[in-house]
Structures are given as C-alpha cells and as structure tokens.
Amino acid sequence: MYNWADAQSYCTSIGGNSISLRYGVESDLANNMTSALMTPPWTAVYYNTTSKSWGNVDGSTFIGYWAKGEPNQANGNCASYRSTADTHGFACTQCYDIQPAFCKQAAAVCNGGNFGGPSTRKGTITSPNYPNTYYNNLDCQYLITSPNGTYITINFDPFVVEGSVDYVSIFDGPVNSSSTLIAKITAYTEKRQFETTGNQLLVWFHTDYSVVKDGWSAYWEARTITPPIYQNGSSGVLTSPNYPNDYPTYVEQLYFVTATPGFQVQANIDDFATENKFDQLLVFDGLVQTSEFQVANLSGSTGVAPWNYVFTNNTFSLRFFTDGSMQYKGWHLKWSLAEH
C-alpha cells in the first residue's frame, strides 16, 4: 500500500507506469480488474496546481474517464480508480491516503527464434523493440545456423543494457549449457565480438523486472573452416587462397611459420590487393594470435606492398579473413632467415 507519490515510484521501479486511460477498452479492462477490490487503487492522474488542470504524471494526453459525480476536488487532488456497481472511473482522493498501486507495463515480447539456414551466411539479430527500449522479464533465445563446413562470428554493436542484471549469454552450439558457454555480456563487458567452433550459435537475452535500456544489435557472419597452413625450414612462400586469382568470400585462413631455431625470421610482401577495411591480413610476432603480439593489420589495394618485417625470434603467424562482397587477387609473401 502506498500514498500517491510512492505508487508512481513503485510502478516505475518495476519497469512500468501508474495506469492512465486513453481508450475505452482500457477503461473496461481497469473496471474488470478492480471491481473486487475493497480499496480503490492509485492512477497516474493528478491535479496540476500550476496549470490548474488535471493530467497524467508522465505528461501524456489526459482522457477524463471520471466516475459519476467526479471530479470533486473537495476529496483531494490525486485520482484513484473507483469501480462499483453503479459507476467506474477516476475519483478524487487525498494524495496522502494509503492505497494500492495500479501499474501497467509493456508486454514482454520476444523476437527470438531460428535464424540463418543451410544457404545463409550472414544476418542481424536485435533485442526486442530495438532501437527502442526492450522489455522487462525477458528470456529470449536466438538460434543461428550457418551452412555446413562453416563457423560463426558475431559482433554486438551497439550494446546498451542495465548493468549486470540484464545480459546476453552466447553458447557454442544449440544447447545453453555451462560446457558450451562462450561468454556472458553485460554493460561492463569490453569484448563484443565472438566466434563458434561449428555452424550453430545460441544467443540468450535475459532481463530482470526493473530498468530498461536501448538494447543491442548483433551482426553475424559465417566463415569457411579451412585447415591451418604450417611451414618450417629456412625459407618459404605464403599466399592468399587462389592467388593470383581472386580469393573466396567468407574465408578465414591461418598460417604458422617456424624457421630454423637460433635465427630470426623475416617476411617480405611484394604484392597486396584486398577489399579495404573488410578483407584483412593480420600479422603476429610468434605463433600466439592475440592483440599483444599483433604487429600489422594490412588491408587495401594501394600503398601496402612492399612490406617488410623482421620478427623477434624464429616464428610468426598470419590470419587472413574476408567478407561476402568484393574479391581481389590477394597477396604474396616470401619469408627467410634474417641476416645477422
């Protein structure tokens, strides 16, 4: 039980608003819901002493569904909802009276389901109602399936949720079990891009009962699974797939080079042409492909080659990936032992 002001705060705290009536069908619904109550519940309606008019606390258009004999301001400047045998509607009530809150909340509607398919290689999923605010009390699941022989990358941008209580869990496969959990993303998670090992990915969006935010949009893409290329010895040549012909779409190729122990290894790219920004060659000093060991991100068709680099030790690795649009001839790299 609340006074009028506290009733407004309570409704807001659960992600809703105190009830206001805009259509006749809402009035009928309110009448049915409150007819058995001993004490009339609060509404969003109050008397604004500045404008000297009745209105809704949220500023929305006020429709005066008043009960018989109302408004009678001798009884107060806040409105409860009276439902009796002979009348129903707003009734003036002292704002300090202690009465039930009467809240309304947008329906918790999920937009999840099955996405992708045996011939679909990219797509976008969003939180419900995006780019407007999502709803409370959600548990929405989005199952993405890509063609056989591919794996899935997914990138969340933007991602705006309430703290750590509204979150997205990403699973490597169709089952949401702890053994397949890739990541749990909250408002505090910096990493927003993830990938699977196979051709299915499950996204689970959970929200609690209170604050709502603008939500998220996620772009996913299927990439072809190709076996890594390994080279050893004192020299070698590496190229993009199909070079000097155009490389394929949606490919990711890894390369690992281990030269003669005790030497440094050097690389020279003498030809390079890819779709700028979208098809990239990442170069790593060593065999561990994390950001701290990345020494170059090469992309584009002009000004890249020639490119030369001497690595710290006798190993280096490459990661080449492409999207689904424009294709170029790619690149050609020669490696050898560095001269002392």
Non-local (6+) Cβ contacts of 14 within 8 A are 103, 105, 136, 209, 210
Q: What's the pLDDT tens digit per position in 3-35?
A: 999 999 998 887 788 888 765 667 778 888 888
Q: What's the pLDDT tens digit per position in 108-140?
A: 689 999 999 999 999 999 999 999 999 988 899
**Which of the pair, 162 or 340, is modelled with greater confidence?**
162
pLDDT at 25: 60
The string of DSSP codes covering 25-85 is HHHHHHHHHHTT-SSPPEEEEEEETTTTEEEETT-PPP---BPTT---GGG-SEEEEEE-S
Q: What's the pLDDT tens digit per position in 148-188?
A: 999 999 999 999 999 999 999 999 998 877 778 999 999 99
**Which of the pair, 172 or 86, is modelled with greater confidence?**
172
pLDDT at 108: 67
User: What structural domains and CATH numbers belong to the chain?
Assistant: 4-104 (3.10.100.10), 113-224 (2.60.120.290), 229-337 (2.60.120.290)
pLDDT at 168: 96
Query: For the whole prediction, is pTM greater than 0.75?
Result: no
